Structures are given as C-alpha cells and as structure tokens.
Amino acid sequence: MRAVKLLRYRSWHILFLLLILAASAGAENAPILLWPNVAPGSEGKTANETVRVNESGEHIVSSIHRPSITPYLPSKDKATGAAVIIAPGGGHRELWVDHEGYRVAAWLSDHGVAAFVLKYRLARENGSTYTVEGTALADIQRAVRLVRSRAAVWSIDPERIGVMGFSAGGELAALASTRYDAGSPDAADPVERQSSRPAFQALLYPAIPHDMRLSKQTPPAFLACGEDDRADISQGLPQLYLSLKQAGVSAELHVFAHTGHGFGIRTTNRPPVSDWPQLFLEWLDIVTHAQSPPARPQ
C-alpha cells in the first residue's frame, strides 16, 4: 500500500514538473516557418492564427496558414541524437497543442530526444481550401526535410528522425510514413534536397488512412490507443498492427484498458496509460539502434 501511495505521489510530482517545463519551454522556443515565405497553397491567405482556451485551460489553435515547427531541444549532456516531429490532433479543424504537443515535446526533450511540435494546415476547418493528403501531408513531409537539413546544427542523427501523431495528427504521421521520397538533388531549395522518409512512426489513437501502402520499407511503428475509443481506432489499430507484421514491419502495440480517446499527456492520466511516454522511449531506443549500421571491425 505504501509503495502504491509513493508511486502516485511520484506520478503527480513528475506531472507537476512537466507542466511547469512545458509552459516555460513554450514561451522560450520560437516557431520556425516550414517555408520562409508563403507556403505553397496558402497564397493570398492573410488571416491570423487564432487560439482559444477551453474550460480546462488548454490551448486550441486554428486558422493556420503559415505552417511551422516549434523546437524543444535537449541539453547536450542528455541528447541521444534522436528526433521526433509531433503532430497534434483536432479533427483537421483545430490543433490541441498542449496535451498532444508541447507537453509531449517537453517530456521527450527532458529525456534526450529532440522534439518539434508541428502546426499544420487544417483541411476540415470551415471554408478551408486545404486537403489532408495534399496540403497537410506536404507540411509534415516538409517538417521532416527541414529537421534533417539542420540535423548537424541541432546535434541530431539524420537517420533517427521520426514522426509522432495523435488522432488526426496520427493520420498525418501514418501518411508520412508510407508516402515519402528521397528528395530532389537538383532543387534550388536545399531543404527540398532532403529525404522525407521518417525513421520511425508513433501513432497514438490515430485516424487510420484507408490506403496505407505498406511494404518492408515502411518505418517501424509504435501503436497505442484505449480500448474504449471508437471501434475504427480500438479495433482498427490492432488490425493495422497485424497488417504491418504481414508486410514484414517491426511494430509494438498497446491497447490500454478502460481508456478512451485523447489521453495524450494530462494530469488526469493514471498508470498504465500515463506510462506510454516511457514505453515509447524504451521502444525508440531499441528500434533506432537496431536500424543503425553495425560498427566496422577495427
């Protein structure tokens, strides 16, 4: 009993520190535009980005026409060389950037993983001219290229850059992991010369694309959802796991009991669902080292 109380205390203490870290880091880290001028497909769009705050104090962003990434870089003594582009969810109508973005990025950077919170354009916002498989997918692909182009500056291994997505953001992460290219060597823009292939994918309660185009080259996958989520996720994600295995792709699946949609990182989470970041970190260490080329004999 004493051990249980101690575990609960430690969980609350960690979450409290995490919230402070996320708030301070969000204020200090400036967003980086994916395209320095106008993003392709956003010509003539001048509306400002909007932020609303719900009754729980969570920030929800909409009206995104200048897609960006916000970096959370680990200290040099903690850096592992791995990096993750994080796509928050929101039904492609808005982005829930706290529990599915900044808090996750803060936790990862504190554990040695460089994290970049992606603000992508919203295909299902009222009056939107954007599309999921066109504009939004282009945003996450560009984010992978941009981080890879600055890997040396940010002390990142260019072969250990992956994607993580929640809900609608999970759909983008899945698309990015199956629709990528090696870059354009002759492109005038040096970012476009980089590959858009993620080294790994983490899909948390994702909207699952209908055409995943799986192959042995599909990046390894970390999959997580709650058993009380809607059927296309709670049953669809295990089915995706089986499809990945049939295609010869390494994958790990977690379906948390008595858990619904949208858990992300919140103070209300309890074990075992609150342990998912640590489970991801341990999985990441295994798969990224497994993909590394063997050391040459001396």
* Partners of residue 98 on adjacent β-strands: none
DSSP 8-state symbol, 274: G
Per-residue pLDDT, 291: 65
Assess if CATH 3.40.50.1820 describes domain 2-291.
yes
Joined together, the tokens standing for residue 272 give 């075992």
Joined together, the tokens standing for residue 72 give 């959370």
> What are the boundaries of each domain within the chain?
2-291
Report the chain (298 residues): mean pLDDT per 10 consecutive residues: 45 47 53 95 95 95 98 96 98 98 98 98 97 98 98 96 98 98 96 98 97 94 98 98 97 97 96 97 90 46
Per-residue pLDDT, 29: 83
Per-residue pLDDT, 211: 85
Percent helix, strand and coil across the chain, each to the nearest 5: 35, 15, 50
